[in-house]
Structure 1
Amino acid sequence: MKLFIRRIVIFLAALLLVVGVDAQKPSRKVRKAEHKAEKKETQQKKAYEKARQKELKRRYKMQNPEVQKRMKQSKKMQNI
């Protein structure tokens, strides 16, 4: 009888752990919203970087050839 009660207590404790872990998990709606927010943030970063590169090219083209040469040299020195 004592062994039977012990097994029931262990089973209930294990069941509580499983239910407790599952209860902490966010709902599907929340996970979907988080995923959507991450995706939007990634797209914004991409768009920002693309616009930045385009603006750098535009500024480079504005310069006369001598300045372009210095800019190119400066960029090479930064990458070293």
Structure 2
Amino acid sequence: PIWDAIIKFDPQVFIWLGDNIYGDNRRPFSIFGRVRTIGPWKNAERFFPSSELEMRYRYQQAKSNPGYSAVRRKAR
């Protein structure tokens, strides 16, 4: 739906400020066990970087969105 609103503005250029894909992964909340992501005994970060392959896949998913593809064609 947001892409339709952007197209209505007849954009000549589109600069995407902010997250276009999420380049990290999230571990589930875990207080107990070997990997703890929250609490006073936290020993692992909750977020960790995506691999290059994961990021390429996410960019491809974004580019295949029909609305986003229309904005990319329009704002060249």
Higher helix proportion: 1
TM-score, scaled relative to structure 1? 0.26
TM-score, scaled relative to structure 2? 0.27
Q: Greater CA radius of gyration, 1 or 2?
A: 1
